[in-house]
Amino acid sequence: MLRVVPAFVLATLATAGLVAQGPSPQPAALTVKGLPAAAPLQVAAMLHGLQLQVQVTLQDGWHLYGRDTGGGQPVQIEIASGSAFAAVGALEAPMDAKGHITGNATLALPLQRVPAGAGLRATMKFMVCDALQCLPPMALELALPAAREKAPSVLLVAIDESERTTRIAAFLAERGFRTDVTTYAKVQQAECDAHDVVLADSPTFGQCRGVMGDVKRFPATASPIVAVGFLGTELLENQKVAMACGYI
């Protein structure tokens, strides 16, 4: 089995701060996009354990609304579907008696992990107002890429160790996956089970001759499998997965 994680890729990822931190107690910063340069506030967001914390710093005289007072649109944070988290409670926002959030304030949204999904993406909507006016509603995109979590390990199963296979493996490594390579002739259940995902590759139909027997012997595995193209349909049919048996 060939381990394919070029050193330059690891160095690049480490430099970029993208290698594995995971949903640990260590806070992880989210990217914040969509704030107009001239907006009278700054916004930073962190994932802290199972809490999304958004720190707002408002210029003097400006405020957000922590609740609906009939004035501007109150702050809302929505977790996007597909995230590895979901909200499990209301947004906690420090506000004064008028419902205003001013100065330096930290908003907190309690989260829980969900079985599916990756990363954390959220939309923060609000209006920022002073005594005379409200600026147009703003919507910020908050994101913690899944790549900040532990990079998934991928077992690439190919028909051979050709240049094409090397290209695919290098691509996966560049994208942060811990990648091992084997072939349909050699693949074993244990190595499939040991990876987060198995990528069962296939070239085009005409290039698949001679491997059908190996495909039929593909081991049953507990790992999720991405079945590709022609050989993928053969795998699905051989393993009696209700996905590829419907030709008429």
Copy the structure tokens of residue 101. 């959030």
Judged by beta carbon, residue 56 or residue 199, the one nearer other proteins is 199
Smallest CA-to-CA distance from 46 within 24, 69, 18 is with 24
- The answer to whether residue 248 forms part of the interface with other proteins (CB under 8 A) is yes
- The answer to whether residue 81 forms part of the interface with other proteins (CB under 8 A) is yes
Q: What is the DSSP-derived secondary structure letter of residue 212? A: H
Judged by beta carbon, residue 129 or residue 159, the one nearer other proteins is 159
Copy the structure tokens of residue 148. 């900040």
Q: Tell me how far apart the alpha carbons of residues 133 and 16 are, in angstroms, rounded to a whole number.
A: 41
Touching other proteins, residues 85-144 (CB under 8 A): 115-119, 121
Judged by beta carbon, residue 83 or residue 102, the one nearer other proteins is 83
Sheet of 85-87, strand order: 76-79, 120-126, 138-144, 28-33, 41-48, 51-58, 104-113, 85-87
Touching other proteins, residues 159-218 (CB under 8 A): 164, 167-168, 171-172, 175, 177, 196-197, 199, 201, 203-206
Candidates 50, 145, 160, 214; binder of other proteins (CB under 8 A) is 145
Copy the structure tokens of residue 116. 């599916």
Instruction: Report the interface residues with other proteins, using CB under 8 A.
Output: 80-84, 115-119, 121, 145-147, 152, 154, 164, 167-168, 171-172, 175, 177, 196-197, 199, 201, 203-206, 222-230, 232-233, 236, 239-248
